[in-house]
Structure 1
Amino acid sequence: MDKLAKQSILTTISAYLGVVIGYFNLLWLLPFVLEPEQIGLFKTIQDMALLLMPFAQMGVGNGITRFFPQVKNDPHSFFTFSLFLGLVGYTLVLFLFILFKEPLTAAFSEKAPEVNEYLLVALLITFLSVVNSLLDAFSRSYLKIAIPSLIRDVLLRLLMGLLVLGYFFEGYSFPQMIWGMGLVYFLTVLSMLVYMRKAGMLNLKFDWAGIPNSLKKAFFRYNSITLLGTAGALLIMKIDSLMVSSMIGLDANAVYTIGFSIAVVIEMPRRAISQVAMPVISGKFADNRLDEINALYKKIAVHQLLVCGLVFLLIWVNIDTLYHFVPNRSVYEAGKWVVLLIGLGKLTDVVFSVNGEIIVFSRFYLFNITATLLMAAAVVVFNLVLIPRYGIEGAAFASLLAMFFYNLLKFFYVKAKLGFNPFTKAVFQLLFAGGLSWVVAGLLLPKMDTILLDLLLRSGLLLLVYLSLVHWLNAAPEAEKWLRDRAGRWLKSGSN
């Protein structure tokens, strides 16, 4: 667990450093440099590429993590075989993209015709994202996630910011900037290759004879099955952005995207914990240590709610202040309610813990496809119904409904099949602490005329009430003990 905790901390630091850069890029740099329609196009191309990526990857990323314990004697041949499958998957997606290009372009032709001019950029980013995701999965199997997280969360955002700055200083045109996104993703792939080479994890071996045919079949079958689940999960998270662009317009997607990106910060600790927990859960299933998985299920629910709940509260009680610093905020602050709705949706992922990861690495992984495809279909229907009536708030509410029912369905399935339950007394204590903290800091505290003073006082009061209640209720004793131990070591080393 020490190694697990260390990697989680380093990954969380990288995630939040990336958030700082991402905040600067999306909440200040892009609105300052680009018009709303340009921001909408910028994000639509990225989201389209990310939506295609799981189909092109063919579920190989999760397959690497699941089957890696069985190929430790010859991991490099296994990895090369995985890369080959990823390239085959991308080729199939490329063929289907060409085959269905006409209806795809028709979807954007009325409200966002500019998207159709840069479809090749989306395909290029998809290819590079597939390669990068497989490199990341292989590193994760070695429990090496800190540097890949730094590359994914920090370097990528930093390079994107520099790309926009280059356009601002008239180094190139806007179309060239859009094509430059492909170069940014290429540099992240190159960085991963250099890191893995130096760490001794990258050694391509094209002799696959040592991989048993039975394992190849099981690997391919698992990937084919989880492909639909992974793609459906991303569809749930990304289709709203594309539908806002195609049904309302690129300027509306810019407003929606900025609100969505503020809310995404809430789940950053969950992502870090999930990345570290996946190989651990896989290993425990391989050893049939179900009780340990159930215990981990409960611990993760408490600790990620402790952190993610606090982040959500800090964002929402200061939401007007956050939008105050956005250039042209009169345009973008219309997305404030998107932040609340998407934030609540992210909290459902947090509260229900790692139910999806448990299903994926259990013998019941087939259910993940059923649940995900049902919810993917539901979110499309929700969007088709709610966007015309409520605009971008309708898209956000559609995502909230999809995330809640998706997690609820997986919770009941895990409970029925494995007897696992993430909900302990501590979860409800944390929800109580969060609700009371919001009332005190968000509703009872009067608004200050000075923006920075309001931010500091409101955040300080929220932290005081929330952490005091957590301590008084003894909701997270392990987290408190860990902090005391680290503080004691830091003080001891400082005194020496």
Structure 2
Amino acid sequence: MGIVLNQSIKNTIITFIGFTIGATNALFMYTHFLGEDYYGLTAFLLSSANIMMPLMAFGIQNTLVKFYSEHKSEDEKSRFLNLVLVLPFVIIIPIFLILFLFYGETAMLLSKKNPIIHNYVWIIPVIGLFMGYFEIFYAWVKVHLKSVFGNFVKEVLLRVFISIFLFAVYFDWISNIQFIYSLVFIYFTMMVIMGLVAFSVRKPQFHLKFPKEKREVIVYSAFIIFSSSIAVLLLDIDKFMIGQYIPINEAAYYSVAIFIALTISVPMRAMHQITHPITSDLMIRKRYDELNDLYKKAAITLQVIGGFIMLGILTNIHQVYALLPEKYSGGVAVVFLISFSKFFDLMLGNNNSIIFNSKYYRTVLLLGLCLVILTVTLNIFFIPKFGIEGAAIATFISIGLYSLAKLLFVVFKMNLFPFTKKTIVSLGIIAITFIVFYFWNFSFHPVANILLKSILVTLFYWVLNYKFMVSEDVNKMMDNILLKISGK
């Protein structure tokens, strides 16, 4: 448990560092150095590659984690690792063969609305391949409980490399077109680094001996391809579809807005590392009263912390956009819609952990499949009519309905409920804080405005939460902070 806790803390810190670098890239360097057309093209290519990644990896990254510990002898482990390295080629070779034979038709189809895409379509499967094997090598080290450096490569080093090449564009060392090609080099380098780390942890023994239970591995991997593809589609399908219906520069505006709004999800990622194993343990021991209590505590704590981050974003949103090129300002409505949808998801606490650790885990896959169909349909309808706001509306509706379906499933199927009277109190505090500060602006530079308003929002919001004791965990944390400040 010490290793897990230690690495969880390190991974959380690394995630926040990577997020900060990513924010600098997304909000300032891409927007000022690359320009909206090539930023939009970058967003389209990387989102498309990310959609292909689960196919290229053949779901092996999850299969490796699930089955590795079941192999006891060194020979069994060696056979299994050989299989996971080779198995993705079952689908990689046909994909590249089809793309080679029908590349012209594929490129023409994807670039019908935006001709700028045509010359770069080949980048999508290549980066998708590099992403896929990166995840396989990352899983390779995770099963040996050495996840920290892999997380550093994924969250920090990748973004540092992108920053370096964006600076190269700024200083005219490379052109915008060369930056697009450099993405291939960056993701190839990340894959190689991760591969070297994986092989240093356990060196593979290349031979054609595979484990006896390879059929079970293949069936599970196929199932994971399906479920992983759904998860990725939910994240990136909107950016892909924007490139098919409206000018590619709109994808740049949308990417900035999405990045700002997704900040709300950071606390959930951090808390998930703590609540997921606890949830699993309570469900195995059938201690449902304690699970229901954890469900409520996780939900209200995430609501309070997520509400604070959402308020920080929404009350300062116009000042943030004042720091960006004027063309990006159309993304304000997108930020609001995506923020509300992510906040509702946040309010459900450890809902996903409960479902994934129950006998009903396949329900998430079914719900996810329905959501993908709904999301694609809504995007087809809304994007041509309303542009990036249409994509945001589609995401808002689909994620909202998906979260509601998961909530109702847990409530009626498992008799667990995340909300209490404190939920209403918290929503009231969030609403009051928003009304007080959203329309209150200072005639300073946007940065000074953001800093001053953020200080006032912080004091106002946390004093109210502390006074009304909305979350026991938050109050305990604030008490500890106050004790340290007072020196007692």
Question: TM-score normalised to the size of structure 2?
Answer: 0.87
Equivalent position of 1:221 in the other structure: 219
User: Which AA in structure 1 matches 2:258?
Assistant: F
Relative to structure 1, the CA distance from residue 89 to residue 483 in structure 2 (aligned partners, 3 Å threshold; closer, same or farther) is: farther
Q: CA separation in 2, counterparts of 1:208 and 1:361? A: 35
Q: Is the 8 A contact 2:258 2:338 kept in 1?
A: yes
Equivalent position of 1:333 in the other structure: 329
Structure 1 regions of 5+ residues with no counterpart?
none
* Equivalent residue in structure 2 for 1:258, among 243, 249, 256: 256
Is 1:123 aligned with 2:125? yes
Q: Is the 8 A contact 1:81 1:206 kept in 2?
A: no
Is 1:58 aligned with 2:54? no
Equivalent position of 1:453 in the other structure: 448
Q: CA separation in 1, counterparts of 2:331 and 2:146? A: 37
Structure 1 segment 115-264 matched on structure 2, within 5 A? 115-141=117-143, 144-196=146-198, 200=201, 202-205=202-205, 213=213, 216-264=214-262
Q: CA separation in 1, counterparts of 2:105 and 2:293? A: 48
Relative to structure 1, the CA distance from residue 209 to residue 108 in structure 2 (aligned partners, 3 Å threshold; closer, same or farther) is: closer
Equivalent position of 2:270 in the other structure: 272
SS, match of residue 122 in structure 2: helix
User: Which AA in structure 2 matches 1:154?
Assistant: V
Shift of 1:250: 1.0
Shift of 1:283: 6.7
SS, match of residue 474 in structure 1: coil
Q: CA RMSD of the aligned region, Å? A: 3.3
Structure 1 segment 71-470 matched on structure 2, within 5 A? 71=71, 76-77=77-78, 78-95=80-97, 97-98=99-100, 101=103, 104-141=106-143, 144-196=146-198, 200=201, 202-205=202-205, 213=213, 216-274=214-272, 296-326=294-324, 329-443=325-439, 445-470=440-465
Q: Is the 8 A contact 2:123 2:184 kept in 1?
A: yes
Equivalent position of 1:43 in the other structure: 43
Relative to structure 1, the CA distance from residue 440 to residue 486 in structure 2 (aligned partners, 3 Å threshold; closer, same or farther) is: closer
Q: Is the 8 A contact 1:167 1:173 kept in 2?
A: yes
Shift of 1:102: 5.7
Q: CA separation in 1, counterparts of 2:257 and 2:319? A: 13
Relative to structure 1, the CA distance from residue 451 to residue 290 in structure 2 (aligned partners, 3 Å threshold; closer, same or farther) is: same
Q: CA separation in 2, counterparts of 1:400 and 1:249? A: 22
Q: CA separation in 2, counterparts of 1:425 and 1:3? A: 38
SS, match of residue 204 in structure 1: coil
SS, match of residue 170 in structure 1: coil
SS, match of residue 87 in structure 2: helix
Shift of 1:487: 7.9
User: Which AA in structure 1 matches 2:160?
Assistant: L
SS, match of residue 249 in structure 1: coil
Q: Which deviates more from structure 2 when the two are superposed, residues 64-73 or residues 17-26?
A: 64-73
Identity across matched positions, percent: 26
Q: Is the 8 A contact 2:83 2:211 kept in 1?
A: no
Question: TM-score normalised to the size of structure 1?
Answer: 0.86
Q: Is the 8 A contact 2:39 2:252 kept in 1?
A: yes
Relative to structure 1, the CA distance from residue 421 to residue 486 in structure 2 (aligned partners, 3 Å threshold; closer, same or farther) is: same
Shift of 1:457: 2.4
User: Which AA in structure 1 matches 2:454?
Assistant: S
Q: How many residues align?
A: 486
User: Which AA in structure 1 matches 2:455?
Assistant: G
Q: Which deviates more from structure 2 when the two are superposed, residues 378-387 or residues 128-137?
A: 128-137
Relative to structure 1, the CA distance from residue 270 to residue 256 in structure 2 (aligned partners, 3 Å threshold; closer, same or farther) is: same
Q: CA separation in 2, counterparts of 1:274 and 1:93? A: 35
Q: CA separation in 2, counterparts of 1:424 and 1:5? A: 30
Q: CA separation in 2, counterparts of 1:146 and 1:269? A: 19
User: Which AA in structure 1 matches 2:388?
Assistant: I
Q: Is the 8 A contact 1:335 1:392 kept in 2?
A: yes
Equivalent position of 1:29 in the other structure: 29
Equivalent position of 1:20 in the other structure: 20
Q: CA separation in 2, counterparts of 1:286 and 1:100? A: 50
